[in-house]
């Protein structure tokens, strides 16, 4: 009985290891491009919500507009 459980455990472990390598996306190679307008909208939302200060908003806004 103990041997059967050992065999089942080993089989399940081997199957899970084999399936772990299947599929999946390589997230590190995905590029996202955000438009200048969207960056400005996001900055404005961050400023209005209090997430960034007015000075940080103005500094980041200038960087976006310079690009």
The answer to whether 36 and 60 are in contact (CB under 8 A) is no
What pLDDT was estimated at residue 10?
Answer: 76
The answer to whether 57 and 46 are in contact (CB under 8 A) is yes
What pLDDT was estimated at residue 38?
Answer: 95
The answer to whether 31 and 3 are in contact (CB under 8 A) is no
Summarised one tens digit per residue, pLDDT across range 9-66 is: 676 766 676 666 666 656 666 777 889 999 999 999 999 999 999 999 999 999 999 9
What pLDDT was estimated at residue 41?
Answer: 95
What pLDDT was estimated at residue 67?
Answer: 81
Q: What sign does the dihedral 32-38-40-44 (CA atoms) show? A: negative
What pLDDT was estimated at residue 5?
Answer: 67
């Amino acid at each position: 009985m103990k041997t059967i459980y050992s065999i089942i455990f080993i089989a399940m472990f081997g199957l899970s290891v084999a399936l772990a390598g299947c599929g999946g996306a390589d997230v590190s190679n995905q590029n996202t491009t955000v438009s200048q307008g969207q960056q400005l909208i996001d900055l404005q939302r961050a400023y209005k919500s209090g997430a960034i200060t007015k000075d940080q908003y103005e500094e980041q806004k200038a960087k976006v507009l310079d690009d």
